[in-house]
Structures are given as structure tokens and as C-alpha cells.
């Protein structure tokens, strides 16, 4: 497979089947792209779409998001999971709102923004010629350039990405490449298990992550909970796990204790 042949395959699929209507693909605004990237971390596109639309409607700019209390952000986030992302996004919005412009290095300084997210924002908001990898990109590259090879490193994938990147078309190219990788997965072709980065996700039901989500969901709906009642939200049998989750949430600043009650942070 040559870079030119690969590009031809990806572009052809994108032209005919690309997800051109995804709401975050209709903006070049750094803040709005940041919101989409944070929401898409470990969450499927279909689930993110309605949350993204509602969130952006409620918090149209970084300045507006930065101005509201964290409790309001956490309430708006309910249903997406991984609530730490909401807190980090809220903090990132405060820093972003204070800047007139921001570089890729500057993006990496924002809470919850690592090298991948920074480069993704640089590509989708700024059309910069950057290299980054996510699950659908891995699938597409491994499928065509490393057939039969096991434990493919990201370093090898990056070398291919440098060769296939059409300079000056980063924004559209990565959209097309992700869409093509997603298409391969729907066809039953997924090679991420052959990646050195592959880690099988733990089950959600019965997990500490489920307990954390239950606590925040309860506080978002009721605003205030007495400690004993909050620990029994998932039943008496999971009380010990709920206590562990609650202590962690308090330490992380996602929940606050006031007298004998617990609330979302102001």
C-alpha cells in the first residue's frame, strides 16, 4: 500500500459516506473543538452528539463556561460519565477565556489536554499539519500498512501518518481518516488489539466508576444528600464501595461536604 493509494481510498469513502454533519465539524472555534474532544474521550460519537449540542447551547463560549459554578457544569454533564472531564474542562475554560491566542504547547498546559487532544484541536480548529493517533486511526493504518503484524507501536503508526498526511488539509484529512477507521470497525475489522497501546476496558456494571457516577447523578438531581442516604443509593451491599467512591470524589473536588451533608461544589 502506497501513501497515494491509501489517501485515494480514504478520500473516496469520505466523499460518499463521511460524517459531514457532526456539529463540531462545523466550527473552527478552539473552545468548541476542545469541548468536543473532551466529550469524545472514551465516549462514542453517537452518545456525544446530543450532549455536545445542549452543552454548547448552554455555554456558548469559554468565558460563559468559566463564569458558572462547577455544580452547574457537573449537572449539565450528567449522562456522559467520566465526570472528572467536566471539572477539567471547567478549569480549562477559565484559562482559555483569559488568553487572546494559544499555541499547541499552550493547549497542553490546559487541564485534561494531553499531546493527543492538543494536536487534534490544532488540526480541527487551526488546520495545522500535526500528527496524532486515536483508535479509529490506528485501525485504518494497521489494516493497510501492517497486515499480520502483532504489537504495532504508535511510533510505527506515526511514521506512516507523516507519509500519508496531505499538507494543508489536516482538518479534513483527520475527519476522513477517523470516519474510515470507524467504517472498518462497523464492518468487523478492528486491529487495536494488535496495538501495543491496547488495553481492554473493564466492565462498568459493579465498578467503582459506576459508583462515582451514581453519587454525582444523585447530587445533580437532589442538590443535597445526607451521608448515610447517599452511601445507600446503589443498595446496602455496595455501601463500602460507595464510601470509597465518595471519599475519592471529595478529594478530587467533585463533591463537597457541608456539615453532615454532601453537595456538588459551588
pLDDT at 105: 85
Asked whether residue 199 is assigned to any structural domain, the reply reads no
148 and 79 fall within a common domain:
yes
pLDDT at 81: 87
Using alpha carbons, list the distances in angstroms from residue 191 to 10, 142, 144, 173, 183: 17, 6, 10, 21, 13
245 and 147 fall within a common domain:
no
pLDDT at 194: 57
Collect contacts of 42-47 with beta carbons under 8 A, ≥24 apart. 42/81, 42/82, 42/201, 43/80, 43/81, 43/82, 45/19, 45/182, 47/80
Q: For residue 160, what is the domain's CATH number? A: 1.10.340.30
Q: Which three three-digit cell numbers place residue 131?
A: 500528527
pLDDT mean by block of 10 residues, the chain; 266 residues = 95 96 96 96 93 97 96 93 93 90 86 91 95 94 89 93 97 97 88 59 81 89 79 89 91 87 87
Residue 160: exposure state from Cβ atoms within 10 A (0-12, 13-18, ≥19): buried
Residue at a domain's end among 167, 194, 221:
194
Q: Which three three-digit cell numbers place residue 74?
A: 457537573
pLDDT at 226: 77
Asked whether residue 19 is assigned to any structural domain, the reply reads yes
Give the position of cell 503508526. 157
182 and 121 fall within a common domain:
yes
**135 is in which domain, residue-wise?**
3-194
pLDDT at 204: 78
pLDDT at 28: 95
pLDDT at 224: 72
Asked whether residue 125 is assigned to any structural domain, the reply reads yes
130 and 156 fall within a common domain:
yes
Asked whether residue 71 is assigned to any structural domain, the reply reads yes
137 and 39 fall within a common domain:
yes
| The total number of structural domains that make up the chain | 2
Active site residues: 37
142 and 223 fall within a common domain:
no
Asked whether residue 202 is assigned to any structural domain, the reply reads no
Asked whether residue 200 is assigned to any structural domain, the reply reads no
177 and 131 fall within a common domain:
yes
Angle at 32 between CA 80 and CA 210, to 5 degrees: 10
Q: For residue 215, what is the domain's CATH number? A: 1.10.10
Residue at a domain's end among 194, 216, 235:
194
154 and 236 fall within a common domain:
no
147 and 223 fall within a common domain:
no
65 and 37 fall within a common domain:
yes
Asked whether residue 78 is assigned to any structural domain, the reply reads yes
49 and 149 fall within a common domain:
yes
127 and 17 fall within a common domain:
yes
Amino acid at each position: 500500500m502506497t501513501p497515494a493509494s491509501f489517501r485515494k481510498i480514504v478520500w473516496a469513502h469520505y466523499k460518499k459516506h463521511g460524517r459531514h454533519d457532526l456539529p463540531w465539524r462545523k466550527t473552527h472555534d478552539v473552545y468548541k473543538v476542545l469541548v468536543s474532544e473532551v466529550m469524545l474521550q472514551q465516549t462514542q460519537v453517537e452518545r456525544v452528539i446530543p450532549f455536545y449540542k445542549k452543552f454548547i447551547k448552554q455555554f456558548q463560549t469559554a468565558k460563559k463556561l468559566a463564569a458558572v459554578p462547577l455544580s452547574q457544569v457537573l449537572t449539565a454533564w450528567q449522562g456522559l460519565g467520566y465526570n472528572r472531564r467536566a471539572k477539567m474542562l471547567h478549569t480549562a475554560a477559565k484559562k482559555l477565556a483569559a488568553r487572546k491566542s494559544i499555541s499547541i504547547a499552550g493547549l497542553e498546559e490546559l487541564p485534561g489536554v494531553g499531546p493527543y487532544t492538543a494536536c487534534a484541536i490544532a488540526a480541527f480548529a487551526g488546520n495545522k499539519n500535526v500528527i496524532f493517533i486515536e483508535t479509529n486511526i490506528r485501525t485504518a493504518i494497521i489494516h493497510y500498512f501492517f497486515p499480520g503484524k502483532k504489537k504495532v507501536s504508535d511510533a510505527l503508526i506515526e511514521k506512516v501518518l507523516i507519509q500519508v498526511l496531505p499538507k494543508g488539509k489536516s482538518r479534513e484529512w483527520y475527519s476522513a481518516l477517523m470516519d474510515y477507521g470507524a467504517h472498518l470497525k462497523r464492518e468487523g475489522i478492528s486491529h487495536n488489539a494488535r496495538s501495543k497501546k491496547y488495553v481492554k476496558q473493564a466492565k462498568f456494571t459493579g465498578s467503582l466508576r459506576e459508583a462515582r457516577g451514581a453519587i454525582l447523578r444523585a447530587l445533580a438531581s437532589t442538590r443535597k444528600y445526607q451521608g448515610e442516604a447517599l452511601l445507600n443509593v446503589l443498595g446496602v451491599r455496595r455501601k463500602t464501595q460507595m464510601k470509597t467512591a465518595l471519599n475519592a470524589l471529595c478529594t478530587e473536588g467533585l463533591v463537597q461536604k457541608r456539615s453532615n451533608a454532601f453537595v456538588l461544589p459551588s
